[in-house]
Amino acid sequence: MSDRTVILGRYELDPAHLGRGAMGTVWGGHDRVLDRRVAIKLIRFPGDCPDPEMERRFEREAQVMARLNHPGSPAIYDIGAFEDPAIGRRLFLVMEFVEGVTLDDVVAEHGPLPVGWAAAVGAQIAAVLSAAHEQGILHRDLKPSNLMIRRDGTVKVLDFGLAMLHKPDVSKLTQTGQIIGTVSYSPPEQIRAGAVTARSDLYSLGCVLHELLTGEPVFTGPTVFSVQEQHMKAVPSAARSFRPDVPRELDEILAALLAKRAEDRPESAAIVHDQLMPYVTGVGHLPGVTVGEPSAVRMYAHAVSRILTPSADATPVTTPATSRENPRERGGLSRNDLERARHRAMSLLLQSRYEEAAGLLTSVAELAAGVYGADDPEVLDLRTQLANALFEGGDHLRAAAAYSRLVGDLARRHGADDERTFQCRMQEAMCHAHLDDNELALRLLRDLLADQRRAYPDGDQRTLELRRQIGEMEKRSGDLAGAHLTFTELYDELCRRFGRDHPVTVRVGDSLAALES
């Protein structure tokens, strides 16, 4: 393409393409009529041979995709054909232009993501899949390079180029039995026979989640065939074998998603979304990926989350006092009681009923601590869930006390340098910042920075981000000289490590420039 290519006198293409998808090339561009940035996908069929029947099928499926209308999927604006001087008639698709970073780049830069972040990404993907599956649309090529995280933390599912309609009366763009998709994320049934269902997309989601949590694909091998064989026969390693901070229950969700038989996987993407949401806790900002400024999208989503569904109270819960399943002689509180209470609290939190969730968790955690000990892993999970519920509900005073009590017990159970302990200390500092006690918040953050610098390698992304947050808090507290020093030292180090044009460097440079203006 030349640097002045214009399609039908309306869509002006950028000089260089953005990437290649399953069925064509994606370019950034400008819609001259509506004066807006767009993405333009130029479709190429095998052999570049015009095929009116294939074009009709593509147009029909594109029309269905346009009805998806979900914030986690790029909007489709237009579809048509034009004469390409190089190959003749060519189809094009005009879509929403999405700015952000693909998940493969995020993992390459950050390594494994915090558990809360991985769950947040997975839950958003599951929500998009749920909407697509309701329309009968299967993605068939879900992988980190097709998933983009934007600066406000929202995730977009990209490249439905291999998508198909899961309906018997609609023609497909691929032949029966043809292996499609990307082998590292393909379910056994897709590899074996090319057959896919909605649960096939859930297997791919499990592969993505595993990679976000561990930094590695589920299966690797020297050849495509060896990877395919593992998908069909090998048992995937538990994420906890890579990092012990992954909750057992989350590993169980992963195992279900990665089941070899489709019928053994969760029934729907909506169920997976609900299963992942309770683990979306302690989600801070990813340096170079997200920003902390107010987001109109998050404001909108927060308001929508307060609208209760008709089935919000449909799931009954057995209270610890009446449970009869494997009760402990001392206190009568079983592990099953803890599990039911945790799931009930999850349901309440999904409805933004923070006070009720906190009340339930408080009573159960106190009883459980007496039965199993305050630093029992399951009790620690309950207590962490309680602290997060208080924080999310705006009760920062009680949340600060809960986090403060947790720190010592987490350190005894998992170690003072464990990421869970560090995250708890960060949350305690954030509570005091919300309470306008910036002096105490800064002291806690500086102590945390000293310990992170000792525990993590030089230049670790978590330490760099903590330094940036300290600078922002110094600025908010009025310590402009301290903020200037923090940002200057951090900016110089980022320039050395990543260069002046790296997003993290630019962001810190902007903060520094704002102080100097």
**Main-chain dihedrals φ then ψ at residue 504, nearest 5 degrees:** -65, -45
Report whether 112 contacts 215 (CB < 8 A): yes
Q: How many residues does the chain have?
A: 517
Separation CA 444–CA 427 (nearest Å): 10
Instruction: List the one residue out of 391, 369, 394 whose CA is nearest residue 382.
Output: 369
Report whether 163 contacts 139 (CB < 8 A): yes
Question: Which residues carry out catalysis?
Answer: 141
Separation CA 12–CA 211 (nearest Å): 37
Strands 36-43 and 88-96: antiparallel
Q: What is the DSSP string of 127-161?
A: HHHHHHHHTTEE-----GGGEEE-TTS-EEE---T
CA trace torsion 20, 25, 26, 29 (10° rounding) = 140
Question: What residues are paired with 26 via a beta bridge?
Answer: 19, 41
Q: What is the DSSP string of 255-311?
A: HHHT-SSGGGS-S-HHHHHHHHGGG--S----TTT---S--HHHHHHHHHHTSPPTT
Strands 24-31 and 36-43: antiparallel
Separation CA 467–CA 16 (nearest Å): 36
Instruction: List the one residue out of 474, 411, 472, 419 whose CA is nearest residue 443.
Output: 474
